Amino acid sequence: MKTILQKPETFKSSRIKPVWCPGCGDYGVLNALDKTFKTLEFKPENIAVVSGIGCSGRFSHYFNSYSLHGTHGRALPTATGLKTVRPDLHVVTVGGDGDGLSIGGGHIAHAARKNVDLTYIIMDNNIYGLTKGQSSPTTPLGYTTKTAPYGVYEESLNPIAMFLSYDISFIARTTSADMKIMQKILTEAIEHKGFSLVYVMSPCVTYKALPYSKLKEITSPLPEDHDISDKMAAFKYAYSEETMYTGIFYRKEKSCLNERLQEVFQMAETSKTTSEIMAEFK
Ligand X SMILES: Cc1ncc(C[n+]2csc(CCOP(=O)(O)OP(=O)(O)O)c2C)c(N)n1
Which residues contact ligand X by CB under 6 A?
53-56, 72, 95-99, 125, 127-131, 136
x/- mask, ligand SF4, residues 24-63, rule CB under 6 A, reads x-x----------------------------x--------
99 binds, among ligand SF4, ligand X, none (CB under 5 to 8 A by kind): ligand X
- Closest approach, Cβ 30 to ligand X, in A, equals 12
24 binds, among ligand X, ligand SF4, none (CB under 5 to 8 A by kind): ligand SF4
209 in contact with ligand SF4 (CB under 6 A)? no
Interface stretch with ligand SF4, choices 21-29, 70-78, 253-261, 265-273 (CB under 6 A): 21-29
Q: For 74, what's the count of Cα atoms within 13 Å in the CB-facing half-sphere?
A: 8
Sign of the alpha-carbon torsion through 61, 96, 46, 5: positive
Interface stretch with ligand SF4, choices 17-25, 75-83, 86-94, 103-111 (CB under 6 A): 17-25
x/- mask, ligand SF4, residues 146-185, rule CB under 6 A, reads ----------------------------------------
Which of 36, 51, 65, 125 touches ligand SF4 by CB under 6 A? 125
Which of 8, 13, 21, 228 touches ligand SF4 by CB under 6 A? 21
103-136 in b/e burial notation, b at 16+ Cβ within 10 A? bbbebbeebbebbbbbbbbbbbbbbbbbeebbbb
Which of 11, 12, 20, 47 touches ligand SF4 by CB under 6 A? 20
Radius of gyration of the chain (CA): 20
Closer by beta carbon to ligand X, 127 or else 257: 127
- Closest approach, Cβ 24 to ligand SF4, in A, equals 3
Closer by beta carbon to ligand SF4, 26 or else 117: 26
Would you tell me which residues interact with ligand SF4 (CB under 6 A)? Answer: 20-21, 24, 26, 55, 125, 129-130, 204-207
